[in-house]
Amino acid sequence: MAPFLQKGIMLRTISILSIATLLSACGGGASTTPAIDTRTPARLTPSLGDFYSYKEIYTTTGASTPTSTPYWYTDVVTEVEANGAWSETDVEESPSAPHMLEHVLADGDGDSSAKSGCTRSYQSTYNTSQRELVAGASWTRTMVAAVAGNCTGSPLTSAISNTTVLAMESVTVAAGTFQTAKVSLSSSYKYANGATLVDESTSWLDTNSRRLIKTSNIRTSTSASGKVGSSSTVAELQGYAQAGSGRSLLNVQRFAGGWSGSYAGPYSGSCTGQISPDGVLDASCGGGQFTLHGLIDANGNVTFSLSAGGGSGPSFSGKFDSPLSIQGTWSMPGGGAGTWQLNHI
């Protein structure tokens, strides 16, 4: 499985919290002690098309041959409901990693995820109603899980996590500078076959949106037979778009992964291919009769051409409106034109 096994559970726990954010301000007069402003600011709610793109370094520390691998994934908001809940799709660099669809309640609690025909549902309870991003705050989350559909492996049955807000800090990553809450999170997961996972992480959450800005995590796994393994991950936000705040920093890595689609007109066919993290598209079309090669920039502009046997064919151009799909037009110097479309798989 891709880095961050059970990523939907672990990252959801630390990146979207059902909490009110607090602002810090300095006291007046001769006092040198910071005063806490307990006014609750307006909550930044997701908007359709918002995305958050991450680079993750995954390292196996318990294997006989340790590995360290960079990996990219992007979360895209695909539905916003009238009651404030929303859904988002997680797309990964690996073309063999199916999308994961997560549903999040209006208070920020993820209550279900679906992937490859398997749906996992979560019910959460907390030991306190005060889960605010203010230094010194802490709370415990207890979660019960259930699965339905075409699921493989032993299902997660329960989890418990302890969260402590350590400090309020300004953090700079590739995507920019953010005001964050530094959070310590300790989580343990139990599976039906007796296997367990333990995560110990330090994360920085945007106080405006509660989104993950960066995280460092150590995971210890114990199999049903008692075999122990470990791994570590470091992830940072690389690019994002927030309609609610008007902030964004676009990155080409949000398109990394597998794509498939078709082109139509005087010439037609289907294509499947891969976009690399640096924006290079290589695809095969028409059952391998043709190849596509081209480049995508951080703004989503794309140009590429179809060729066969060393000869050039139609020229394609377009613009990505979303990390999930793209469409455009193609044309040939000697005449002929049509349309094309690709979807992130």
Whether residue 148 sits in one domain with residue 105? yes
Q: For strand 257-264 and strand 156-173, is the pairing parallel, antiparallel, or unpaired?
A: unpaired
Is residue 24 classed as helix, strand or coil in its secondary structure?
strand
Residue at 131 is within a domain: yes
Report pTM.
0.82
Whether residue 292 sits in one domain with residue 183? no
Residue at 1 is within a domain: no
Whether residue 237 sits in one domain with residue 151? yes
Domain housing 63: 7-249
Question: Do 115 and 133 form a contact (C-beta atoms < 8 A)?
Answer: no
Whether residue 330 sits in one domain with residue 184? no
Residue at 338 is within a domain: yes
Question: Do 215 and 203 form a contact (C-beta atoms < 8 A)?
Answer: yes
CATH number at residue 308: 2.40.128.120
Residue where one domain finishes, among candidates 184, 216, 249: 249
- pLDDT computed for residue 60 by the predictor: 81
**Cβ of 79: how many Cβ atoms within 10 Å?**
13
Residue at 134 is within a domain: yes
Whether residue 105 sits in one domain with residue 49? yes
Whether residue 168 sits in one domain with residue 201? yes
Whether residue 258 sits in one domain with residue 228? no
> Cα separation of 222 and 214, whole Å?
26
Whether residue 335 sits in one domain with residue 238? no
- pLDDT computed for residue 26 by the predictor: 30
CATH number at residue 51: 2.40.160
The residue behind tokens 């994002």 is: 240
Name beta bridge partners: 236: 55, 214
DSSP symbols for 43-77: P----TT-EEEEEEEEEESSSSS--EEEEEEEEEE
Query: Quick one: tokens of 224?
Result: 């049903």
The residue behind tokens 């949000």 is: 254
Whether residue 148 sits in one domain with residue 69? yes
Cα angle 54, 58, 64 (rounded to 5 degrees) comes to: 170
Long-range contacts (CB closer than 8 Å, 24 or more residues apart) made by 76-79: 76/49, 76/50, 76/51, 76/322, 76/323, 76/324, 77/46, 77/47, 77/48, 77/49, 77/50, 77/51, 78/48, 78/324, 79/48
Each residue's pLDDT expressed in tens, for the chain with a length of 345 residues: 333 334 444 333 333 332 222 222 233 333 344 343 343 444 678 999 999 999 999 888 765 566 677 889 999 999 999 998 999 999 988 877 778 999 998 877 889 999 888 999 999 999 988 788 889 999 999 999 999 998 888 888 999 999 999 999 999 999 999 999 999 999 999 999 999 999 999 999 998 888 999 999 999 999 999 999 899 999 999 999 999 889 999 999 999 988 898 888 877 888 888 899 999 988 888 777 778 888 888 988 888 877 766 666 677 777 777 888 888 887 777 777 888 888 888
> Cα separation of 105 and 86, whole Å?
7
- pLDDT computed for residue 304 by the predictor: 80
- pLDDT computed for residue 3 by the predictor: 34
Number of domains observed in the structure of the chain: 2
Question: Do 25 and 37 form a contact (C-beta atoms < 8 A)?
Answer: yes
> Cα separation of 236 and 56, whole Å?
7
Torsion, Cα 107 109 111 117, to 10 degrees, reads 120
Whether residue 189 sits in one domain with residue 163? yes
> Cα separation of 131 and 16, whole Å?
12
From the list 246, 250, 258, the residue with the least C-alpha distance to 322 is 250
